[in-house]
Structure formats: structure tokens, C-alpha cells
């Protein structure tokens, strides 16, 4: 699938192309608009490589973006700039100066990878926090994490506190319980 665009409709709908969802909602799959509402159309269209595309609104011939890969388009709209002017400039760069285009797309790809790594790091931090929370000993009575562990009981022979049994004791409410419960 190729991505075609209508400069007239993109110029008319610039204020509606404010984020990645706005771009993807405009990617109508057929000129007769069978899959999405015409109200979502903002100047972009998917079309089979063998067909020429006609704008469903103004009926002018649409321009080929030279982007055969949706990932490339997504990277430009997600991590480059949401401006329709930026997308058109990147399309022109790809057509006219592939070296500058490659440099720009490399910058965009680096930004995408950085964002992906950031989201992954946040996910790992959340997983660690959840695991730590799950492994934190809490008082079954009041939920406090201020727990002390010590010996229980009083020996008649020695007169000292502490038999062979270990207990957890809540420093907040004083409740005692056997470890592992």
C-alpha cells in the first residue's frame, strides 16, 4: 500500500492534524470511503500501488508520498512533528534530496528509540515497584510496614525472654504473629 496525499485538503485541514491519531484517522482505505467516515478525512489516503488515487473531497489527483512503509509514515508523524507542513517537507525531501531526508529520518528514528527506551524503563520501574510492594511485610491487623522480628515467650529455666519461636510484631499496633502468614 502506498500513502497518497492531497495538498489542497491537507492545507485546508492543517488545524485538525494535531497529533498522530488525527493523521491515522485520515488514512481512508478506499476512494469511495467504505471503511471510515468522510468526516475524518484530512488529506491522506491509502491506495493500492496499481491504482491512481483521486481525492474523495476535491476530486483532484492525489500526490504519491513515496512512502511504501506505514512505519516510516508513523515515525514522521509520531516523533517528528505533528505539523502538516513538516510532513509535506519530509515528503519533498524524500523526493528531492534523499541524503537530507535520510539524515532527518535518522534523527526521528533516534528520538523514537529514545522514547521507546524511556517507556520500557518506566515499565521496568513499575514492575519493580509492584514486586517490592508485593514482597513487603505488613501487619495483618493495621497494614503497617513497621515490623520487628523477635523471639517469643519466657523461659522458666533461665528467666529470659525468647524461646525458640520467632514472631513478627507490629510497632504501630503491637499485634504479634508467626512469620510466613
Domain boundaries, the chain: 2-119, 147-177
Task: Give dist(CA 3, CA 45) in Å, integer.
Answer: 6
Q: What is the pLDDT of residues 94-142, one digit of tens each?
A: 999 999 999 999 999 999 899 999 999 999 999 999 999 888 889 999 9
For residues 69 and 5, the answer to whether their CB atoms sit within 8 Å is no
Question: Quick one: residue 162, left, alpha or beta (phi over 0 = left, psi -120 to 50 = alpha)?
Answer: left
Beta bridge partners of 63: 5
pTM for the model: 0.62
In the sheet that holds 63-64, the strands lie side by side as: 44-47, 2-5, 63-64
50 pLDDT band, cuts 50/70/90, is very low
Task: Give dist(CA 51, CA 41) in Å, integer.
Answer: 19
Amino acid at each position: 500500500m502506498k500513502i497518497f496525499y492531497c495538498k489542497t485538503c491537507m492545507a485546508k485541514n492543517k488545524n485538525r492534524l494535531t497529533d498522530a491519531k488525527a493523521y491515522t484517522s485520515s488514512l481512508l482505505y478506499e476512494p469511495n470511503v467504505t471503511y471510515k467516515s468522510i468526516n475524518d478525512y484530512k488529506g491522506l489516503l491509502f491506495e493500492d500501488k496499481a491504482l491512481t488515487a483521486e481525492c474523495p473531497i476535491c476530486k483532484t489527483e492525489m500526490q504519491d508520498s513515496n512512502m511504501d512503509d506505514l512505519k516510516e509514515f508513523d515515525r514522521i508523524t509520531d516523533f517528528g512533528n505533528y505539523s502538516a507542513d513538516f510532513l509535506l517537507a519530509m515528503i519533498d525531501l524524500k523526493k528531492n534530496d534523499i541524503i537530507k531526508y535520510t539524515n532527518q529520518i535518522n534523527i526521528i528514528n533516534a528520538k523514537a528509540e529514545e522514547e521507546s527506551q524511556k517507556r520500557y524503563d518506566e515499565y521496568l520501574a513499575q514492575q519493580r515497584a509492584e514486586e517490592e510492594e508485593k514482597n513487603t511485610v505488613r501487619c495483618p491487623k493495621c497494614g503497617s510496614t513497621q515490623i520487628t522480628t523477635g523471639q517469643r515467650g519466657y523461659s522458666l529455666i533461665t528467666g529470659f525472654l525468647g524461646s525458640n519461636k520467632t514472631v513478627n510484631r507490629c510497632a504501630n499496633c503491637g499485634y504479634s504473629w508467626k512469620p510466613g502468614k
